[in-house]
Structure 1
């Protein structure tokens, strides 16, 4: 039997990911945690993919305009790029933190973790939640009130370049893709809060009563009462 970092790999079963086994209600908050984790990860993934698409389009537009102008024009769009990079980074962190906990919860639900593990995991979850909030807030401000602009050439040439490379529009809120990723990101943040909340509650419960199924805990309590 191969054991890595205390995880017995022989206990890994594909059948553990079947709906009946994943959402077994014998485990404390198991169903709620897994649903919240999956919603947070999938919704943030959607925001990440949409932000990545927008990012690639603005970078391509910048390169095309500057090359077309013989590198005389400069396109200033660092604000939207920074907001989208922040979004992508923290959405990846959401998938990492909650995806790992989902994986461990499904395959090794009865494993006991040391206190330091619970503390670090909870701190990381809070950090990710705050990061998603920062990304959503920054993206909302940038998309709602900012726009990219062109310098280095006359206003006539700048308008000409805008007409040639009109997608995406320099005014960020004029493009539905930007609005979509911001809206989806806020929804993802809400489910990230829910995931973090369930993680904290379950962590406190497991440290106090253990991670075993509720039926086993009740039988242990009855045995203790009977023996007393």
Structure 2
């Protein structure tokens, strides 16, 4: 099981958090150098009573930690299992996340209605069928590779966000590529154990028949 980020590009914001931390440390050092030396010790005690040094930094540390966690959260981390399991087939759901999906001609809007339609569809699919999720707008992203893990799929659907443009053709090409790649991997695994039948056309045909079927489901309003 691994942790992946659906919007990993946002993790660069952690650099901003690190820069804020470095700025805080630099400000502390500058403050020490610029401290005015008091000649009257009693006055110094009244103006700036001594207190544990670590207490002054707790608030800043908590704020930086909170910012770091917020950045990780908006990068949309998900748990994914890397262990391959047997399946009876694969389905890729291509999900339109273009800006037109914010239209409210259906309740509450097209995006929410499409998400619910995707959930209803997944609920009707046999648990032995792998389902993957691909989002498309101006760019295409494989949000969830074909998996039997319905929880991972639900998280992927829930985390979908809108963007500009609609690249339906690119999404279909990506869907076909994903299914073909998985089919090739399965064929390679099945063929590793027995090389005696190489060159036998009937055997090759039998292997093709044993490959799990694949299908693509397109959820789109057809607009940009």
TM-score (norm 2): 0.25
Larger fraction in strand: 2
Q: Which has the higher contact order (CA 8 A, sep 6+)?
A: 1
Higher helix proportion (structure 1 or 2)? 1
The TM-score with structure 1 as length reference comes to 0.25
